[in-house]
Each structure stands twice: as structure tokens, then as C-alpha cells.
Amino acid sequence: MIYLDYAANTPVDEEVLSSFAMATRKYIANPNSLHPLGLEAKNKIDEVSNMLAKYFDCSSDGIIYTSGSSESNNLVIKGLSAFSNKKKIIISSVEHSSIVAPCNYLSQNGYDVSVIDLNEEGMIDLEQLEREIDDNTLLVSICTVDSELGTIMPIKEISDICKRKGALFHTDATQAIGKVNIDYSGVDFITFAPHKFFGLNGFGVLLNVHNIKIKPLIHGGKSTTLYRSGTPVIANVVALDKALNLAMTKLKERQNYLQNLNSVLRSNLQKLDYVHINSPQDAIFNTINISLINKDTKKILVELDQKGIYLSTTTACSLNDSLSKSVLAITGSKELASNTIRISISHLTTYDDIQKFLKIFREICD
């Protein structure tokens, strides 16, 4: 088996799984209970929250543990709308469906949703963004890394524009945390999930950096935060701590490895006249998006599956028959956007994996 879909999901690291099992056995009480066992559990959650607060330079009171990035994205967009008279939200043309869907919901309830275009490098148009922000703008939500192309957005420049224009800024950093270092100073809300960096599925985080008032999606009383009710799953929090620590400790080592692996993959794909590489040269190292020219992409993917090679077309949360919105945005070509393959690698990918993939890929396509 050769797995090349790490941008969709990563396997749980054994150390993360061990920390989850340990915490499940050790912390048996509800962290909201006032007896010593409950306080012990609460103190452990607070310890992790304080670590996150220090790392992201944010308020520990604004750390919201959720079921995943989709809930986090919905929470910030819908939650902000409840306490503001401003009725405009600005997003990019490549946001995840969990950003687009709540924005569409709000647009049916009197909100104006503006979409910022991409330039030829896959970056958002900063001049257009600055023009679009007005006195009625509640929120700007731009992903840190485009999930299809791997383009790294200019987060610092965006945050500077938002601050200067008086708009709140949220970034969905799900494809970035644990993979690339980004300056998040000036960002008001940050979303991420550990299953993208070898942590557990079914868990996510929304960082409300400045503890701005938002309305909960789930009501039922204070838990670890005012913004989401429910009994905290302490083992998930402990596992998050372990996954993030591992990812950040080994970040540089893994980046160097992936840069070399990416270079091998890209240089070989560039030699094929039926391959168009969509990802920019300075995209995140774990992602290369390509389009096939005059080939039946779906048929090729099925044949790759049969050979034990697993990868994706667009993102895992896209409709099966949808065009790649990222590729369409940068190329303007429906043909290229409808024939994409996203190859995503990790430190678990070997050079032998890449050579086998390239060999089988050429045999199928030629």
C-alpha cells in the first residue's frame, strides 16, 4: 500500500495513542466536578490550554475544544453574527466547505458575502481585499493553506489590512498547524484539528485569541469555556498536546525531508507532457496538485487504487463531481479543474514509495 492522501487524514502516531490511553485510565472524573479527582482532571486541561495560549499568544479563556474544524468554523462565523449589527463577511474563493456553507446560510438571512479572487500564483488579491472591507464588514475568513494547491496565504499582510480597516480576521489553519511556521499575530480566530498532524479524529480547536464574545452553537452551561457546552474529553486534550508537541519538535526535520521528496516528485512529473502542475513552487511541501491533459482522471485513479496507491482528486469534503475551485481560480480552465489529482505526502512517505508511484502512474497513463 502507498498512501498519498495525508492532506485528508493522517494515521494516529503511536505516542499520541499511548497518551490518549494513559489519560483515559488516569483521569476518570468529570473535569467540571469539584472533588479532588475532578480538579485533577481540570488542572490537566488547564495545563494544556495554558501551553496553547503561550504558543499562540492568546487568552487561555478563549481556547475552545470542539468536535473538529467544521464545528470550529461554523462556531466563529455563526457565533459572531449573533452579537453584531455588521452584515458583511469576506472569504476567499478557495475556502473549505465548512466556511462556505455557514456563509451561504447567513447570506439567506440578510448577510452580504464577498468572495476574494486568486492571482496566478494562487494567492488572494490583497488589493481587492482592501477595497472590499468597509464599515459593514464583520469578519474576514481566509485559510492559511489552500487545501487543494497547498498555497500558503500571506496571513500577516491580511491581518495588517484587517486591523487597519477595523475588521475581525479568522483563519482556518487546519492544513497549516504542525506543518509550517506562520506568524499569527494580529489574527483574531484560528481553527485547527490534530487529525491533520498525526493526532486523533473527532476533535478540533477554535482559538478565540482575544476572547471576543460569540454565541455558542451548543448550549448547556459552562464547560471548559463559555462558548461550548459539554463534558470535556480530557484524553482528547492530552492527545492534542502530545500530537502538537511532536509535530513542532520535529517540524524542521520533517520539512527538510519533505522538501527533498517534493523536489523528486515535482521534477519527475514535469517531464510528462500530459501533466500540468498546479501547485506553485513555494507551496507547502506536503502537497502537489496536478491536472491530467487528455486523460480520464477517474479511470486512472481507479487503476491506481487497484494497484494499492491511494490519493484524491479535490479535497475529501468536496462533492465527487465538483470542479477543483482552486485550479479553476488560477487557470480559468474547466478542463484542468475537472481533471485534478492531489498528491499529499508526509514524513512516513519513502523515496521508494515515490519511485513506485511514478513508475505505476506512467505505466497506467502512457
Parts of the chain with a pLDDT under 50? 316, 319-320
Q: Which helix (H) or strand (E) holds 243?
A: helix 234-249
Q: State if pTM tops 0.85.
A: yes
317 as an active site residue: the answer is yes
Classify 147 as helix, strand or coil: coil
For 352, phi then psi, to 5°, come to -65, -40
Helices vs. strands in the chain: H and E counts, helices first: 12, 12
pLDDT at position 288: 97
Question: What are the pLDDT digits (tens) for 66-122?
Answer: 999 999 999 999 999 999 999 999 999 999 999 999 999 999 999 999 999 888 888
Position 314 scores a pLDDT of 63
**Extended strands (E) in 120-222:** 137-141, 168-172, 189-192, 204-208
Question: What separation in angstroms does the CA of 286 have from each of 7, 190, 347?
Answer: 8, 21, 9
Q: Which residues contact 65 (CB under 8 A, 6 or more apart)?
A: 203, 204, 205, 224, 225, 228, 232, 233, 236, 237
- pLDDT of res. 168: 98
- Calculate the average pLDDT of the chain: 94
Residue-level pLDDT at 121: 83
User: Residues 6 or more apart from 99 whose CB is under 8 A from it?
Assistant: 73, 77, 91, 141, 143, 172
Domains of the chain: 14-249 (3.40.640.10), 250-365 (3.90.1150.10)
pLDDT per position as a tens digit, 335-346: 999 999 999 999
- Rounded to whole angstroms, the Cα distance separating 89 from 76 reads 12
- Cell 489552500, residue? 146
pLDDT of residue 262: 98
pLDDT at 307: 96
What is the pairing mode between strands 88-92 and 137-141? parallel
Whether residue 343 contacts residue 297, with contact meaning beta carbons closer than 8 Å, is answered with no
Catalytic residue, candidates 143, 162, 317, 365: 317
Q: Is residue 204 a contact partner of residue 212, using CB atoms and an 8 Å limit?
A: no
Q: What is the pLDDT of residue 50?
A: 95
> Looking at residue 291, what is its pLDDT?
96
DSSP state string for 12-33 = PPHHHHHHHHHHHHH--S-TT-
